[in-house]
Amino acid sequence: MTNDPKRKTGNTDPGRNAGRTGKAGKTDQTGNTASGRLKKALAPYEKVLTKNPDDAAAWAGKAAVLLRFHVYKDSLKAFDKALEIEPLNPGYLFEKGFVLLKLEREEEALQAFDWVLEIKPESDKTWNLKTSVLCRLGQQEKALAACEKALASNPKIAGAWHAKGTVLSDLDSYEEALKAYDEALKLNQNLARTWEGKAFVLYKLDRFMEALNAYDTALKLNPNNAKTWVGKGLVHLRLSRQKRALDTFNKAISIKPDFAEAWLYKGEALALVDKDEEALRAYERALKIKPDYAEAWKAKISVSSKLGIEMDEEDMEEEWKEEWKEEKPEIKRSTWTRKSDIGVEIKNAAKEGKYNKFGKKEDQGPEIKRNTWTRKAQEGEETKKYMGKKTDKKRGGTERKTGKRKEQKK
């Protein structure tokens, strides 16, 4: 079965990408429809099940194919059939939990993950998803208690140490989080998402060069994690390395083209080198992916004003206009997005010269808050992390008008 982290940030495997069309009418470069590819992928499992309907592995294989093609309800039914035959198979239970997350049934998913941890307490990916879901539900203390309980009975569970670090980081206890991540890495040096988590807390502690080293290690272990590339790019921005930051954001986009946050920060990097028109296009791309992305709207308005482009009021939906009037935009949370407007803070810090070329603060720089979500995946997961419920509201059309340029005063 596919490692959950790779589901989250994107996977370059052509078989997985083929299934992402999701519509029967879609065709790939060879002219095959998605429904045709799904039918072909299911065929060997259907053949086995016709002969032996009690083959748990065949049911699980069928479920995995359906999951890959985003047919979640049927995938869940197939995993349930597999579990009727092998009720204590931790792999099937984990995948069932993951499908339940895709169906936004978090409480049931947590039950499945608890079963996995009863059978296989050292499962780091299960700890990762369980704590991520609890944090998303605002139950950080419960998540931390679960980690402490597990470590009290067995202090050599790397996944529990990683999960503890994730929760502590979410609670802004960065020094303690760093200690927990280090404990996890003492037990297992090959945990990409733990290196990513460590990199983030080092970044929060203004230890930028150490953060870069940790991100590099994470990327050696999992080079296809778009979220990790974005994290590395943010460090480069804080070090005033706009060109390197832009390269890393482009890398993230090449892995996951629909990663709205990567487009936002690409826009910030472009704006910092006065490529405002390109920055505007990047912000518009972020908004096409995520129409209610408050930070992207604010950035678009700012750069549009700089370019002399008047934003029509109809371009902004009423709920967002009201929030901006109050200067309290609601920012939807994802695995790695921060609470504050990072791009603006980085931009201001760079202009004010608060960071020298080595990234050391010459005076107090802006504080960047971290968001509730952590190594999602990060899916993840690209380490796989659970990104939580899809919060974007479907709206009629995501294209935005750029407005008309203001007439130049004569």
In tens, the pLDDT along 138-173 reads 888 888 988 888 888 789 989 889 999 999 998 999
Out of 254-258, 321-325, 389-393, the most confident range is 254-258
pTM above 0.85, yes or no: no
Identify the pLDDT of residue 320.
54
Rounded to whole angstroms, the Cα distance separating 321 from 284 reads: 17
Mean pLDDT of all residues in 309-324: 57
What does DSSP assign to residue 310?
E
| For the chain, percent of residues with pLDDT exceeding 90 | 53
| Residue 391 pLDDT grade (very low, low, confident, very high; cuts 50, 70, 90) | very low
| Residue 93 pLDDT grade (very low, low, confident, very high; cuts 50, 70, 90) | very high
Q: Which ranges constitute the DSSP H helices of 226-341?
A: 226-238, 242-255, 260-272, 276-289, 294-306, 318-325
* Residue 377 in this model has a pLDDT that exceeds 70: no
* Residue 376 in this model has a pLDDT that exceeds 80: no
The set of residues, in sequence order, having a beta carbon less than 8 Å from that of 261 and lying 6+ positions away, is 230, 286, 334, 336, 337
Mean pLDDT of all residues in 33-46: 89
| Residue 135 pLDDT grade (very low, low, confident, very high; cuts 50, 70, 90) | confident
Tokens of 6: 């790779």
Mean pLDDT of all residues in 365-386: 37
| Residue 316 pLDDT grade (very low, low, confident, very high; cuts 50, 70, 90) | low
| Residue 341 pLDDT grade (very low, low, confident, very high; cuts 50, 70, 90) | very low
Identify the pLDDT of residue 360.
41
| Residue 346 pLDDT grade (very low, low, confident, very high; cuts 50, 70, 90) | low
Mean pLDDT of all residues in 89-114: 92
Mean pLDDT of all residues in 186-205: 96
Q: Which CATH superfamily is domain 1-120 in?
A: Tetratricopeptide repeat domain (1.25.40.10)
Tokens of 50: 């016709």
For the chain, domain boundaries: 1-120
Rounded to whole angstroms, the Cα distance separating 43 from 60 reads: 14
Identify the pLDDT of residue 314.
57
Numbers of helices and strands, H then E, in the chain: 21, 2
Rounded to whole angstroms, the Cα distance separating 346 from 237 reads: 7
Contact of 47 with 60, CB cutoff 8 Å: no
* Residue 382 in this model has a pLDDT that exceeds 70: no
